[in-house]
Amino acid sequence: MDSAASLKSGGRGSTSDRSRHWLRQSLVVIELAMALILLAGAGFFVGGIYRLTHRELGWDPTHQLMGVISLDQDHFGGEKNRPRVLAFSDQALEALKVLPGVQAASLSSGSPFWGTRMEPFRIEGQPPPAKGQEPQAGYFSVSPGWFAVHGMRLVQGRDFTDADRIDSAPVAIVSESMARKYWPGESALGKRIAGPDLTNPKWAEVVGVMKDFKGGAEFFNPSMTNLRFIRPWAQDSGDGVVFCVRAAGPPGLLKEPVRKAIGRLLPDLAFGYLATSDEDTAQTYSYFTFLRRILVQIAALGLLLSAVGIYGVVANLASERTKEIGIRMALGAQPRGIIWLFIRNGIVLASIGAAIGLGGAFVLVTTLARILPALPGKDPGVVMCAASLLVGVALVACWLPARKTTRISPMVALRAE
């Protein structure tokens, strides 16, 4: 402040100089802009995770308990031990199906929760591809009843049955996308496919077409396609067994019964993984959930700091202009006009901050969408909601000190020296 002006009579009621005003208001504008950018980032994660966890999967992941066991290679590895693997599989399924609270049970070499591993394949009638150029599709083998456990459905043909054994004709089920791509305009049923072992291809007849579904890996790898084919477990079993049961009630209550049922068959082996569908989903999205929580907390803090900053600027300005306000009120000014005098300043600051913040928010959301393609959509509505919230908070922060000032008696205000 100008020292000479301050020492004059009435100088104590004067306001700060222009440079101090510009500095304080610039800091408030920066706070508002950064708060809006943080709010937009938090909104991107909140909206993205919601859409990710509520999108159409093509299967029902609820009320499921999953477990993984790696069979001992000495006793179950290799082609010579295939009968032992199949005997254990049959016994395990029977043991799980009779447990109280289990509606259905299946086993497989993979799970839609984690996506499907990519394997090479060949279509009968097409020229063999060059080595290393074989087409790839998601693949695993499943037991009968696998579709019922996961709530999937076939659009054509039949499910695998207990008759699809190692000594019966090889069969396969393909996805809708694979059927459309390789047999356009005709039925895929009766066609033949080979894979994943192409060194000694064994042609399997397509007996069913399943509806396309989304798995866990597809969310984090957009390059993956809906091309899939599956084989019966009895015709292509492995040493890694994924058990899945559909529960009538809370699936977590089946953990101990499932452990004990499998433990009676293989006392020396334990589940390498056992979790409910909700637990598996939470683990799959834990990274995004952590980022969402951190951004929401920082955005809330930024919003609070912005509100405090603009409140402080307006309150200080109101304090410096107390005598002026007293004169205005003594001359007949209405409280409504006095409040608008300060809110107008807040609107200007909030508008500038929101304009800068919108540009930064667009850059941030676009960058996040490119880095994290698994979270669908940029959702501009979230950014606009964040801007509206920010402006609303700024106006409230201006209104509070302005309203307090209008409650001072004009005589008291005129004596403010």
pLDDT at position 12 is: 45
- Which of 17-31, 194-208, 368-382 has the highest mean predicted lDDT (pLDDT)? 194-208
Amino acid present at 265: L
Angle between helix 18-53 and helix 380-406 axes, rounded to 10 deg: 140
Q: Nearest to residue 52, comparing CAs of 296, 288, 279?
A: 288
d(CA 361, CA 38): 8
Instruction: Convert the pLDDT of each residue in 304-353 to its tens digit.
Output: 887 787 777 777 777 777 777 777 777 777 878 878 877 887 788 888 88
Confidence of residue 163 (pLDDT cuts 50, 70, 90): very high
Tokens of 81: 């031990």
pLDDT digits 0-9 by tens, 254-307 = 999 999 999 999 888 888 899 998 888 888 778 777 877 887 888 788 778 877
In angstroms, the CA 32 to CA 356 distance is: 9
Residue 140 has pLDDT above 70, yes or no: yes
pLDDT tens for each residue of 166-207: 889 999 999 999 999 999 999 999 999 998 888 788 899 999
Give the E-state strand segments of 112-203 in sequence order: 117-120, 122-123, 136-142, 154-157, 171-175, 192-194
pLDDT of 17 higher than 90: no
**pLDDT at res. 11:** 46
For the whole model, what pTM was predicted? 0.70
Structure-model confidence comparison of residues 215 and 160, the more confident one:
160
Other CB atoms within a 10 A radius of the CB of residue 392 amount to 11
